[in-house]
């Protein structure tokens, strides 16, 4: 069976071939010029590095064209690998959602650097410009998704997320809103088995949790409501939902969404609790009470859902 990275490279290569074909078809039908954005990006990166593309005239232009094309190929392959890794982690969707998610990721990987480097401003693009960007990337996303499906056809299908799994995802999300590290750490620390390497990894993760518990009590620690605090907690809740879904062999989209939403609620609720406690109880006592609640929620979410516990659904 092909490995995760190899499947991603194959799927990304297929998607890249299709995005090129759709782009050239658009050029043939509309008679438009090829985009100069890839070459402009190469020049912008060279400027940032304090250098320039070597050569004069046509030689330098040929190198810009080649480097721009290679960058596009690297993006296509890289997003394919990321999609394969996400699938391996349990994030599986239908073709339509896969086309949007994978195509959107590839589009972001291509367009965000362009905007950041000042090569082009997407805010000034016309509808035709957007169509010329969106349609090929959707074709890339669909092709990459279908290729991954075909290459991984021997994987057992994931089941539907049951209410018990969603409840555990919500509990872990709430815990993540209080202590962000628990979203990822709790499923790992409660997973069974593993050799010495896994034990060392678990010890490191546990130290990370302890570090957050200690850091939360420091007066210099910024508010969890200051960016990127809320975003980190929501991401942790989402990842926790995916981890619990994978453990239960269920489709992860709904548990991921539930975990993220619960983390957003937990973030606000924890901040509100600490604000309410000011002047009523010492801050360290309010923080410890929140620690206990977060750890209890994480335990309820993860310990009962371990394989062999009888409640993995």
Task: Say if residue 216 is in the same domain as residue 239.
Answer: yes
Whether 176 shows a pLDDT value over 60: the answer reads yes
User: What pLDDT, on the 0 to 100 scale, is given for residue 51?
Assistant: 87
Residue 104's Cβ-count burial label (10 Å; 0-12, 13-18, 19+) is middle
Residue 279 lies in a domain: yes
What's the domain range around 23? 4-151
Residue 312 lies in a domain: no
Domain count for the chain: 2
Task: Say if residue 26 is in the same domain as residue 86.
Answer: yes
Residue 291 lies in a domain: yes
Residue 308 lies in a domain: no
66-99 per-residue burial string, b: 16 or more CB within 10 A, e: under 16: ebbeebbeebbbbbbbbbbebbbebbbbeeeebb
In this prediction, residues 9-14 reach a mean pLDDT of 92
Q: With beta carbons less than 8 A apart as the criterion, state whether 233 and 261 touch.
A: no
Task: Say if residue 285 is in the same domain as residue 175.
Answer: yes
Provide the whole-model pTM. Answer: 0.57
Task: Say if residue 75 is in the same domain as residue 168.
Answer: no
Whether 258 shows a pLDDT value over 90: the answer reads yes
Residue 26 lies in a domain: yes
Sign of CA dihedral 145, 149, 155, 158: positive
Residue 264 lies in a domain: yes
Whether 90 shows a pLDDT value over 90: the answer reads no
Q: With beta carbons less than 8 A apart as the criterion, state whether 76 and 15 touch.
A: yes
Task: Say if residue 135 is in the same domain as residue 226.
Answer: no
Mean per-residue pLDDT over the chain, rounded: 86
DSSP 44-103: HHHHHTT---SSSTHHHHHHHHHHHHHHHHHHHHHHHHHHHHHHHTT----HHHHHHHHH
User: What pLDDT, on the 0 to 100 scale, is given for residue 1?
Assistant: 46
Boundary (domain end) residue, out of 102, 117, 151: 151
Task: Say if residue 257 is in the same domain as residue 224.
Answer: yes
Of 73, 261, 246, nearest to 165 (Cα)?
A: 246
Task: Say if residue 143 is in the same domain as residue 189.
Answer: no
Task: Say if residue 121 is in the same domain as residue 175.
Answer: no
Task: Say if residue 100 is in the same domain as residue 235.
Answer: no
Per-residue pLDDT tens over the stretch 144-158: 999 988 887 555 566
Task: Say if residue 91 is in the same domain as residue 13.
Answer: yes
Whether 119 shows a pLDDT value over 80: the answer reads yes
Residue 310 lies in a domain: no
Boundary (domain end) residue, out of 89, 123, 151: 151
Of 15, 161, 163, nearest to 92 (Cα)?
A: 161
Task: Say if residue 173 is in the same domain as residue 259.
Answer: yes
* Residues comprising the chain, all counted: 313
User: What pLDDT, on the 0 to 100 scale, is given for residue 246?
Assistant: 81
Task: Say if residue 66 is in the same domain as residue 103.
Answer: yes
Residue 262 confidence class, pLDDT cut points 50, 70, 90? very high
Whether 306 shows a pLDDT value over 60: the answer reads no
Residue 156 lies in a domain: no
């Amino acid at each position: 069976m092909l490995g995760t990275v190899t499947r991603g490279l194959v799927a990304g290569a297929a998607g890249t071939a299709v995005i090129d074909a759709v782009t050239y078809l658009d050029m043939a039908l509309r008679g438009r010029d090829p985009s100069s954005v890839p070459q402009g990006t190469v020049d912008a990166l060279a400027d940032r590095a304090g250098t320039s593309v070597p050569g004069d005239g046509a030689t330098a232009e040929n190198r810009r064209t080649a480097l721009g094309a290679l960058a596009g190929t690297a993006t296509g392959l890289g997003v394919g690998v990321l999609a394969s890794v996400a699938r391996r982690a349990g994030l599986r969707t239908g073709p339509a959602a896969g086309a949007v998610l994978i195509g959107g990721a590839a589009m972001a990987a291509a367009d965000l650097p362009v905007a950041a480097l000042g090569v082009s401003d997407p805010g000034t693009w016309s509808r035709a410009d957007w169509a010329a960007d969106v349609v090929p990337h959707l074709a890339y996303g669909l092709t990459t998704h279908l290729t991954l499906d075909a290459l991984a056809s021997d994987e057992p299908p994931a089941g539907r997320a049951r209410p018990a799994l969603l409840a555990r995802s919500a509990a872990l999300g709430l815990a993540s809103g209080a202590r962000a590290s628990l979203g990822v750490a709790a499923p790992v620390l409660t997973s069974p088995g593993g050799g010495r390497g896994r034990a060392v990894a678990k010890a490191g993760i546990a130290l990370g949790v302890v570090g957050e518990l200690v850091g939360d009590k420091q007066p210099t620690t910024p508010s969890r409501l200051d960016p990127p605090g809320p975003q980190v907690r929501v991401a942790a809740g989402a990842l926790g939902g995916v981890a619990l879904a994978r453990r239960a062999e269920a489709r992860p989209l709904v548990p991921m969404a539930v975990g993220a939403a619960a983390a957003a609620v937990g973030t606000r609720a924890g901040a509100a609790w600490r604000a309410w406690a000011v002047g009523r109880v010492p801050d360290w006592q309010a923080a410890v009470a929140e620690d206990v609640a977060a750890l209890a929620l994480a335990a309820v979410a993860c310990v009962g859902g371990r394989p062999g516990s009888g409640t993995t659904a």
